[in-house]
Structure 1
Amino acid sequence: MTASDRDPRDTFDTADSDADIGQQAAAWWARLRSDDFTQADADALRAWCARSPAHARAWRELKQVWQALDPALQEAAPQRAAVLAFPLRPGRRAFLGGALAAGVAVLALRPPLGAWPSLQELSADYRTGTGEQRQVALSQQMTVQMNTQTRINVRAPEAIELLDGEAEIFASGARQPVTVVAGAGRLLAQSARFNVRHTDDAVCVTCLAGAVEVHWQQRRQTLDAGQQLVYDERSVQAATAAPAEEASAWRTGALSFVGRPLADVVDEINRYRPGRVVLRNAELGRRLVRMRFSIGQIDGALAMIRDLYGAQMTSLPGGIVLLS
C-alpha cells in the first residue's frame, strides 16, 4: 500500500517513525484532493498536525522540499526526465518516507494542489510562478508582459506560443506582424497592444489598442480597440465589447469582477495565492458578485467573500482554505 492509497484518518501509533509520519503527510495531500473531503476531515487534519512537532514539520516539509527542488527540476526539464530523485542532507531523516519517494515521477507531473512547479511548467522558455509577473523584451518590435502562472515558448524573435496563463503583448510597428499562438488560434498584429488569456481550454483575446487579427481554422476576424472574443478547440465566438478595464486590471496590481460567478473569482484567487482555496458550496459558487481587490492583498479578498457573501472559511495548514 502506498501513501496515496492509505486513508489518513486511520489511527497511527504515537511512536511512528519519521518515515511513517512522512507517508501520512503524503496521504493527507491525497485526501485533500478527493471530492468528499469533509469538515470532519479538516478537523482531523488539524489534530494530526498538532499531534507532535514531527507531524507539523512533516506537513510543512511536504511543501517546502519541493520548492527546494526547483533548481534540480529546471535542470532536468529540458531532457524531459521521466524519473527524478532528490538528495537529503547527510544524517537527516527523510520525513517524506519511501512511499513518497517512489511516487516522485507522478508528483512531478501532477503536483497536488499546485504546491510546486510541474515538469511541463519548468520546460517552458519563460514562466512565472504564483503571484509573479515578468516583462520579456523579445525584440524591438515585441514585448511580452507575463501575468502569474504563465508559460510561453519562443518560436522566433517576433513569435511566441502562449502555453497557458495570461500575457499582454506590445507590438510596435513591425514590418511583419508579430505572432502569438494560443490554443487552437493564431493572433497577428503590427502595431497593437492586446491581452491574451489561455486558461483551461479557452482563449480570450482582448484588443486594448490598435488592431489584432485572429485566425481560427479557416476563419479570420479583426479586433479593434475595446473588443474581445473567446475561442476553444471547437468554436470561436463573435467579437463583443470588452468589459471596461477588466482585462488589463492585473497590470495595475488589481483584479476586477463585475457580474461574475463567485467560482470564477475563487479560480482567479488561486492563480495569485500559494496554497489552495477550495470552494465546497456549488450554490455559493454560482452567485454573481461585484468585487475589486489588490493582488498584493489577496487574502483580503477571502475576508471580503466571507463578510459580503456569508461564506464559512476553514483554514488548514499549507495555505489551504475551504469555503462553504
Structure 2
Amino acid sequence: MTAPDRDPRDPLDHADTAIGQQAAAWWARLRSDDFTQADADALRAWCARSPDHARAWRELKQVWQALDPALTHAAAAAPQRANVLAFPVRPGRRAFLGGALAAGVAVLALRPPLGAWPSLQELSADYRTGTGEQRQVALSQQMTVQMNTQTRINVRAPEAIELLGGEAEILASGARQPVTVLAGAGRLLAQSARFNVRHTDDVVCVTCLAGAVDVLWQQRRQTLDAGQQLVYDDRSAQAVTAAPTQEASAWRTGALSFVGKPLSQVVDEINRYRPGRVLLRNPELGRRLVRMRFSIGQTDGALAMIRDLYGAQMTSLPGGIVLLS
C-alpha cells in the first residue's frame, strides 16, 4: 500500500491539520478488509516520520484511552447505542499494531465520538469557540459578532460570514450595504439590526431582537421585525412566530432558563456548555416538562438538580460522561 500522505511538495504537509488528515486516512485504511502486515509497518513508519507525527498520534492515543473505559461501560449498559459509543476493532489488527492501534481509533480527528473534542472541520474555521467559551469579533465598523459556546464561523467578506454551527448574536450598525450571514440553507441580510442565529443539528433559528432582518430561503424572502422568529432547515421553513426574545438572548447574561420545556431539551443545552457528554437513556424522563434556571458555568449543579428534583438516576463515568436514567 502507498501511504495515504499529501503531496510532499505541499507546504502544508507538516501542519497540524494535514497530519490530522493523514492520521484519519490511516484509520480508514486500518478498518478496510484488506489491511496487511505491510500496511502496519508503513503506519509505524508514518508515526516515526517526525516529532510532529509522533506527537499527534500520541495525543490522540491519550485522548482515546481516557475515554475508552467510559465508552466501553456505556456501550455495555446500552447495547443499542454501541454504534455511537465505540468503534469495533478486529483483534488480529490489534496484534499488528500493539498500542498504536488504540491510537488509531482516534479517527476521531474527523468525527470525534460524543463530540468529545474539536473535529478537523471545527479547527479549520476562521473563528471558533470551545465548550463554555464566548467571544466577540468585530469584523468591521458595521458588523460585530458575539459568539456563543461551540460556535464556528468563516469570514466571506468584511461584512459577510458563514455560521457553520453553533450560535451567534449579530449587530449590524447602519451599513450602506446589508451585512450577510449564511446559515444552513438560508441567507440573512440586515442593515440596522440586532439578531440571534442558532445553527444546530441542521436546523437554523433566526430571532430578530431589534430592527429588521430579511431571511432568504430558496426562492422566498421573509422580513422579520423585532420580536419575531423563523426556523428552517434544508427541506422546509416554518411560519414566522412571536419570539421569546429574552430566552433567545439569555446566554448573553450567563444564565439559561427553561419553563415548560422537555428535559431532553435541557440535556441537549447542557451538552453545549459542558465538557464531556450527558446521555439521557430514559425516553419517558426526557419527555417530562420541567422548570429550571441555572448558570451556564454551573452545569454540574444543573445535573444534580435534575437528579434531586426529577428523580433521575445519575452515573458519572470517566471523560466527563454522565448517564441519566
* Global fold match (TM > 0.5): yes
Residues 20 and 120, structure 2, Cα contact 8 Å, conserved in 1: no
Whole-Å separation in 1 of the counterparts to 2:24 and 2:35? 15
Counterpart Cα distance in 2 of 1:222 and 1:27: 45
Q: How far apart are 1:2 and its partner, in Å?
A: 21
**Alpha-carbon distance between aligned partners in 2 of 1:215 and 1:163, rounded to the nearest angstrom:** 17
- Contact kept in structure 2, 1:3 and 1:100, CA below 8 Å: no
Which shows bigger deviation, 40-49 or 242-251? 40-49
Residues 127 and 8 from structure 1, CA distance in 2 versus in 1: closer, same or farther, beyond 3 angstroms? Answer: closer
Instruction: Kindly state the Cα deviation for residue 115 of structure 1 after the two structures are TM-superposed.
Output: 2.1
Give how far 1:113 is off. Answer: 2.0
Greater CA deviation, 308-317 or 26-35?
Answer: 26-35
2 CA distance for matches of 1:120 and 1:238? Answer: 32
> How far, CA to CA, are the matches of 1:148 and 1:263 in structure 2?
19
Contact 1:63 1:318 survives alignment (8 Å): no
Query: 1:103 deviation in Å?
Result: 2.2
CA-to-partner distance for each residue in 1:259-316, whole Å, 9 max, x for gaps?
2211111011011101111100000011111211101111111011111111110111
Q: Give the share of equivalent positions with the same residue, in percent.
A: 92
Query: 1:68–1:135: structure 2 CA closer, same or farther, 3 Å change rule?
Result: farther
How many Å apart are 1:88 and its aligned residue? Answer: 23
- Paired residues of 1:253 and 1:294 also in contact (CA < 8 A): yes
- 2:85–2:114 Cα contact (<8 Å) kept: no
Contact 1:9 1:41 (8 Å CA) reproduced: no
Residue 85 of structure 1, CA deviation: 21
Mapped to 1, the partners of 2:140 and 2:78 lie a distance apart of 26
In structure 2, how many angstroms separate the alpha carbons of the residues matched to 1:178 and 1:23? 34
Distance 2:30 2:320 in 1: 12
Could you list the structure 1 runs, at least 4 aligned residues long, displaced by more than 6 angstroms after superposition.
Answer: 1-17, 21-63, 66-73, 76-96
Q: Sort the Cα spacing of 1:55 and 1:221 in 2 relative to 1 into closer, same or farther, 3 A.
A: closer
Go from structure 1 to structure 2 and tell me whether the alpha carbon gap of 1:123 and 1:94 turns closer, same or farther (over 3 Å shift).
Answer: farther
* Whole-angstrom CA distance in 1 between matches of 2:271 and 2:33: 18
Gaps of 5+ in 1: none
| Mean CA deviation greater in 198-207 or 112-121 | 112-121
1:63-111: CA deviation from partner (whole Å, max 9, x where unpaired): 86589999999xx999999999999999999999534466267210011
SS in 2 for 1:306: helix
Which range moved further: 302-311 or 58-67? 58-67
Q: Residue deviations 1:187-210, cap 9 Å, x none?
A: 000000000000011100000010
Question: Within 2, Cα distance between the matches of 1:35 and 1:85?
Answer: 19
Q: 5+ residue gaps in structure 2?
A: 72-76
CA distance, structure 2, for counterparts of residue 37 and residue 178 of structure 1: 51
Question: What is the TM-score normalised by the length of structure 2?
Answer: 0.71
Change (3 A) 1:315 1:213: same
Mean Cα deviation higher: 39-48 or 275-284? 39-48
**Partner residue in 2 for 1:188:** 189
Cα distance between partner residues in 2 of 1:176 and 1:117: 34
> Greater CA deviation, 29-38 or 273-282?
29-38
TM-score w.r.t. structure 1 length?
0.71
Cα 1:182–1:30 shift into 2, 3 Å: same
- Say which is worse superposed, 258-267 or 178-187, in terms of deviation: 258-267
Q: Name the structure 1 match of 2:74.
A: none
Cα shift at 1:163: 0.4
Name the CA shift for 1:10/1:182 in 2 (closer, same or farther; >3 Å). closer
Structure 2 distance, partners of 1:156, 1:187, is: 14
Structure number with the higher helix fraction is: 2
Q: Aligned with 1:91: secondary structure?
A: helix
Q: Which residue of 2 aligns with 1:101?
A: 102
2:312·2:324 contact (CA, 8 Å) conserved in 1? yes
Compared CA separation, residues 52 and 233, structure 1 to 2 (3 A): closer
**1:88 & 1:301 partners in 2: Cα distance?**
36
Asked if the contact 2:60–2:103 (Cα under 8 Å) also holds between the matched residues in 1, the reply is no
Q: Is contact 1:80-1:119 (8 Å) kept?
A: no
CA contact (8 A) 1:212 1:224 kept: yes
Q: Take 2:206 and 2:12, find their aligned partners in 1: how far apart are those partners?
A: 52
CA spacing shift, 1:31–1:108, aligned 2, 3 Å: closer
